[in-house]
Amino acid sequence: MRIALGTDHAGYEYKERIKGYLVEKGHEVKDFGTYSAESCDYPDFIYPAALAVAKGECDRAIVMGGSGNGETIVANKVRGIRCAICWTEEGARLSRAHNDANAISIGAWTVPIELALKMIDIWLKTPFDGGRHARRIQKIAQLDNCSLEPWPAKKT
């Protein structure tokens, strides 16, 4: 699998550990930076990583930062990206099974590296369940082309 990585300074050490781990498992890794622990701005690295997935250059993206929150927000600004922030193994599994997440965000300040690696393994191996979830993913995809008008409410 081709995996894009992106982080700011807070996630730099995690990115390096995760990159080695993924290569060891046989994945192709594209590193979008950052390349040191020197303070930097996460959108500069997260956006290109997410864009690589949207363009089909990579299959999935793993983005990191201190909390993972800002990184999730930036990745989800890219049309076609469904980035889930994960703190648990079950959250990682559900992000794929129910949400077909093509990007995952991990906070280096909130998740121990051992747990991060377990979540990544689960996230990479879990298939999308489809079924009723496919309808919801289609609605999410429609939002990529949405105006600022409210979503039409379903009448009960």
42-90 per-position pLDDT tens digit: 999 999 999 999 999 999 999 999 999 999 999 999 999 999 999 999 9
The pLDDT assigned to 152 comes to: 62
Judge whether residue 155 has pLDDT over 70.
no
The pLDDT assigned to 142 comes to: 87
CA dihedral 91, 68, 113, 18 (to 10 degrees): 100
Catalytic residue among 71, 89, 133, 149: 71
Catalytic residue among 16, 27, 98, 133: 98
What percent of the chain is predicted at pLDDT more than 90? Answer: 88
Helix and strand element counts for the chain (H, E): 6, 5
Main-chain dihedrals φ then ψ at residue 33, nearest 5 degrees = 90, 180
The pLDDT assigned to 144 comes to: 84
**pLDDT, averaged across the chain:** 94
5-26 per-position pLDDT tens digit: 999 999 999 999 999 999 999 9
Task: Based on the residue annotation, tell me whether 71 is a catalytic residue of this protein.
Answer: yes
Q: pTM to 2 decimals?
A: 0.92
Point out which residues pair with 62 in neighbouring strands. 5, 104
The pLDDT assigned to 140 comes to: 87
Pick the CATH number of 2-143 from 3.40.30.10, 3.40.1400.10, 3.50.50.60, 3.30.200.20: 3.40.1400.10
The pLDDT assigned to 147 comes to: 57
CB 64 within 8 A of CB 117: no
123-143 per-position pLDDT tens digit: 999 999 999 999 999 988 888
